Amino acid sequence: MRLRIAVPIALAVLSLAGLAAVPALFPILKSNAHIGRQPEGFYLLPTNQLLQPWGEQAIIKGRPVDSALDSGKRFLAVLNTRGIDVFDALTSTPLGAVRTKASSYTGIAFRPGASEIWTGETSREGPDFILVTPVSATGVPGPGVEIPLGKHAVPSGVAFSEDGKTAWVALSRSNTVAVFDADAKKLLREVPVGVAPFAVRYSKQAHSVFVTNRGGRLPKPNETTAPSSGTEVLTDPVTGSSVSGTVSVIDAVNDAVREVAVGRAPSGLALSRDEALLAVANGHSDSVSLIDTKTLKVTEVKIPAYPAGVTGSQPIAVAFAADGKTLYAACAGTNALASVQLTGAKWNVAGSIPAGWFPTSLIVMDDGSLRVVNLKGTGNTANGRGSFISTAYEGSLVRIPALDSGRLAVATKEVIAENSPQLEPAGGVANLVSLGIQHVILLVKENRTYDQVFGDLKQANGDPNLTMFGREVTPNHHALAEEFVILDNFHTGGAISFDGHPWLMQSFVSDYTERAFAASPRGYAWNMADALTVSPAGFFWQGAPKPPSVRIYGEFCLPALWDAATQSVKDINEGDMLQWSDYWKLYKEGKLKDMVASRSGVPALQKYIDVRYPVNDTSITDQLRADEFLRELAGFEKTGNMPQLSVVTMTSDHTNGTRPGSPTPRAMVADDDYALGRLVEGVSKSKFWASTLILVVEDDAQNGLDHVDGHRTVALAIGPHIRRGAVDSNFYDHSSMIRTIQDIFRIPPQTRFVAAARPMTSVFTAQADTKPWTARKANIAFDEMNPPLKALNGRQRLAAQQSLAMNWHDPDDVPSDVLNRILWWNAKGYDKEYPKR
């Protein structure tokens, strides 16, 4: 029998009852199952996966990304979001923790011969530091000492010489490896390597330092590239994804560098005990590269995803067993550990072991047992006050005893079952192609939970006590939900915009993104304007034998100005954007449409972009976005040709908090609501309505509370073939919505998440109702302004001051917890405490 109970980190880890019994596989879930812990003890995740980690699991508050053992193998240090947690390596008992500034993507190591831990501290803009933390004889960490780097270099992987006197640290943004005198805590020199160096390992036998380069080799002239934090990366001309991955081999004596080609997005490294073999986890190639450390000959082993045949196992960390004949790979995409074993002269995948959600680091102890750090734990979003929020981050540490071949076979069957959960049929129309839908509009909005908007819908599963933007503020959302389908069991795949937009556009999120929530040190590329975030499978409409025609309005975009004289765009920076009142004045004067524009942050997608569509800046009213979409729709009416797929963004529902000079939160949500209504009305009165489907969803649910789960969000399905007056409580998520679009256009799933998702068949009906729809007028003036600071006092003044300090030109460059309280007080009253339900 296996224990699968998550316990708070402050408690001793529960004892293991043993792994001898053969586990039962999973029951067929009710079609309306809720995410979270199921009665049988396993978890349903918002990524449409089941979770049942083998072994003992302890919860770690935060998002842990890396781990390290001391030389005596007594202490296990875990690099967390904003700190270091230290555990007893044998029992996983917590020994102590220190809080730090925001940590980096990866990189934590005990220095040999000294009781100290080295790791990196970084931020969005820098400066960055190496943090040296002392550890007592009992494993308790103390206050650290910072070694300033003097620039925004983004320190990542860390390795030491065998005597502990030299340290090598990957500097991700500098594309170098820094060499330190560890005794003097002094930077000696930097060695140029590839693009975005990540992990580092030192081999005494090979006299070499090995470094993975996430972006691979430096591009040659005239090759296709895209930017990543100031560096051009070699990319695919169609998908925009990085296509090169390398390992730099640095001579530890003279710093000479050789480069070895491996798979895409190489991350974790491991040396066999005899140092004859180096393993490399290739997160975007679903493979592990094995490098002979003498000859540098490379052998690749593919790591399967489940369902098979698609992208998404995402091996991102590796570790050898003591005998050197078994290698484990942490597979973030399948929430599992792949066991790769040497048989004769060949390495093969022997099976998989269930881990926690998104394993990022693993260690094999001398007895063969495993210590696995999982970035997202069990997916729990409880805020400790009786409600849920997507940013209630929890990771976990799982301790798994050594497995024999019989138990590995059982474990493998369970991993396969976890990644293809079975639900009761949802009903509706199974053959979506038969409906004759020719046009799909996917409208992506910003950051609301279901309860914030629809908690007041009495006919569905809502909590009116958590409703902040109900019927008065959002009459169009309410009318569309009630007249078509109320989806009260729909969930985002991600937690914030950084992973929410990739879930919708790719059904894949790189560990490069998931690891970066602490600081986003190479940039907050929620718009995928960083080649290292782009899925190796590309975007969800790509890869079909006959891809649909596509038009993009706002998604992926960066700010620009429209030059009416030349009918072209001019690049500008985020800092060049104006304030809301400036843009509103220009809008009312009819001048704004000839000023703002967009350019693609993903160069490969530029040809799809409507450059006249406003960039996703909350200072620009959503009415202009509706105007521009409807302008193009009128053109399509004249030509009789409308793109098959339109991807549209609207952002005003994000709000600008209570910032003086901006509209009130409810006014901005009302602005968004009416823009949605206008878009639907325009399409419903067009010649394309009979063959159109409109899907509306939030990219994430980070800015609010929900009584079911922090991932539950607002979603709408609108069109002639959508059921009328229905409440649909079937479990769906972001990947379900994308799978629906792919099935309509016969696009084969490219990632395991879409392949395992079920389409939203239950929302459809074969009988079409082509009656046009009319938008509801707004009840609130869009220029209802927040009061000036001088008119405020107490908590209301504090909220305004905090709002003024936030960067609203970047929709998520704000502290979510602070903004959520501001929005709560503004909607419910400044004398109302944040929910402690």
pLDDT tens, position by position, 592-642: 999 999 999 999 999 999 999 999 999 999 999 999 999 999 999 999 999
Predicted confidence (pLDDT) at residue 565 exceeds the cutoff of 90: no
- Smallest CA-to-CA distance from 713 within 727, 733, 738 is with 733
Alpha helical stretches, state H, 438-544: 450-454, 475-483, 497-506, 511-514
The pLDDT value recorded for residue 12 is 30
DSSP state of 684: H
Rounded to 5 degrees, what are φ and ψ at 392? -85, 75
Whether omega before 307 lies within 30 degrees of 0, making that bond cis, reads yes
- Smallest CA-to-CA distance from 388 within 34, 831, 7, 42 is with 34
Residues in Cβ contact with 321 at an 8 Å cutoff, skipping those fewer than 6 apart: 327, 328, 364, 368
391 C-beta neighbours (distance < 10 Å), count: 18
Mean pLDDT across 552-577: 91
Predicted confidence (pLDDT) at residue 503 exceeds the cutoff of 80: yes
Predicted confidence (pLDDT) at residue 1 exceeds the cutoff of 50: no
C-alpha to C-alpha distance for 291 and 208, rounded to whole angstroms: 13
C-alpha to C-alpha distance for 498 and 511, rounded to whole angstroms: 12
Sign (positive/negative) of CA torsion 134, 136, 140, 143?
negative
- Mean of per-residue pLDDT scores for the chain: 94
pLDDT tens, position by position, 329-369: 999 999 999 999 999 999 999 999 999 999 999 999 999 99
Predicted confidence (pLDDT) at residue 707 exceeds the cutoff of 90: yes
DSSP state of 314: -
C-alpha to C-alpha distance for 213 and 312, rounded to whole angstroms: 20
The pLDDT value recorded for residue 235 is 98
The pLDDT value recorded for residue 24 is 52
Predicted confidence (pLDDT) at residue 409 exceeds the cutoff of 60: yes
The pLDDT value recorded for residue 564 is 86
Q: Which SS3 state, helix, strand or coil, does residue 416 take?
A: helix
C-alpha to C-alpha distance for 835 and 384, rounded to whole angstroms: 10
Tokens standing for residue 210: 């090995």
Q: Which SS3 state, helix, strand or coil, does residue 821 take?
A: helix
pLDDT-based confidence at 573, cuts 50/70/90?
Answer: confident
Residues in Cβ contact with 339 at an 8 Å cutoff, skipping those fewer than 6 apart: 326, 327, 328, 349, 350, 351, 352, 353, 403, 408
Radius of gyration of the chain (CA): 26
Predicted confidence (pLDDT) at residue 196 exceeds the cutoff of 70: yes
Bridge partner list, 347: 342
Mean pLDDT across 795-822: 85
Task: Using the CB atoms, write b or e for 261-293: b if 16+ within 10 Å.
Answer: ebbbbbbbbbbbeebebbbbbbbbbbbbbbbeb
Bridge partner list, 159: 168
Q: How many residues would you count in the chain?
A: 837
C-alpha to C-alpha distance for 645 and 693, rounded to whole angstroms: 10
Residues in Cβ contact with 816 at an 8 Å cutoff, skipping those fewer than 6 apart: 391, 496, 702, 703
pLDDT-based confidence at 167, cuts 50/70/90?
Answer: very high
Predicted confidence (pLDDT) at residue 422 exceeds the cutoff of 90: yes
- Smallest CA-to-CA distance from 700 within 688, 689, 686, 714 is with 714
Number of alpha carbons in the 13 Å side-chain half-sphere of residue 307 = 15
Rounded to a whole number, what is the largest CA-CA distance in the chain?
79
C-alpha to C-alpha distance for 610 and 598, rounded to whole angstroms: 7
The pLDDT value recorded for residue 836 is 62
Mean pLDDT across 667-695: 98
152-161, 162-171, 381-390: which range is least confident on average? 381-390
C-alpha to C-alpha distance for 1 and 270, rounded to whole angstroms: 31
C-alpha to C-alpha distance for 664 and 537, rounded to whole angstroms: 41
The H or E element containing residue 261 is strand 257-262
Where is mean pLDDT largest: 229-243, 385-399, 813-827?
A: 229-243
Mean pLDDT across 124-136: 93
Give yes or no for a contact between 617 and 577, defined as CB atoms under 8 angstroms apart.
yes
Bridge partner list, 557: 600
Predicted confidence (pLDDT) at residue 797 exceeds the cutoff of 80: yes
pLDDT-based confidence at 510, cuts 50/70/90?
Answer: very high
pLDDT tens, position by position, 12-65: 332 233 333 434 589 999 999 999 999 999 999 999 999 999 999 999 999 999
Mean pLDDT across 275-295: 98
Give the strands of the sheet with 6-7, arranged side by side.
6-7, 56-61, 394-400, 370-374, 359-364
* Cα torsion through 674, 675, 680, 683, rounded to 10: 140
pLDDT tens, position by position, 238-261: 999 999 999 999 999 999 999 999
pLDDT-based confidence at 659, cuts 50/70/90?
Answer: very high
Q: Which SS3 state, helix, strand or coil, does residue 373 take?
A: strand
Number of alpha carbons in the 13 Å side-chain half-sphere of residue 455 = 20
pLDDT-based confidence at 815, cuts 50/70/90?
Answer: confident
Predicted confidence (pLDDT) at residue 497 exceeds the cutoff of 80: yes
Predicted confidence (pLDDT) at residue 217 exceeds the cutoff of 60: yes
C-alpha to C-alpha distance for 457 and 473, rounded to whole angstroms: 14
DSSP state of 470: -
The H or E element containing residue 801 is helix 794-804
pTM confidence score: 0.95
The one-letter amino acid code at 29 reads L
16-20, 445-449, 455-459: which range is least confident on average? 16-20
Give yes or no for a contact between 742 and 506, defined as CB atoms under 8 angstroms apart.
no
**To the nearest whole percent, how much of the chain has pLDDT over 90?**
89
- Smallest CA-to-CA distance from 527 within 811, 808, 742, 236 is with 811
Predicted confidence (pLDDT) at residue 90 exceeds the cutoff of 60: yes
| Token pair 């009988």: residue | 767
Mean pLDDT across 255-270: 98
The C-alpha angle with vertex 244 and arms to 238 and 245, in degrees rounded to 5, equals 145
Residues in Cβ contact with 231 at an 8 Å cutoff, skipping those fewer than 6 apart: 173, 175, 195, 196, 215
Bridge partner list, 737: none
The pLDDT value recorded for residue 811 is 65
The pLDDT value recorded for residue 561 is 94
C-alpha to C-alpha distance for 234 and 214, rounded to whole angstroms: 11
Predicted confidence (pLDDT) at residue 812 exceeds the cutoff of 90: no
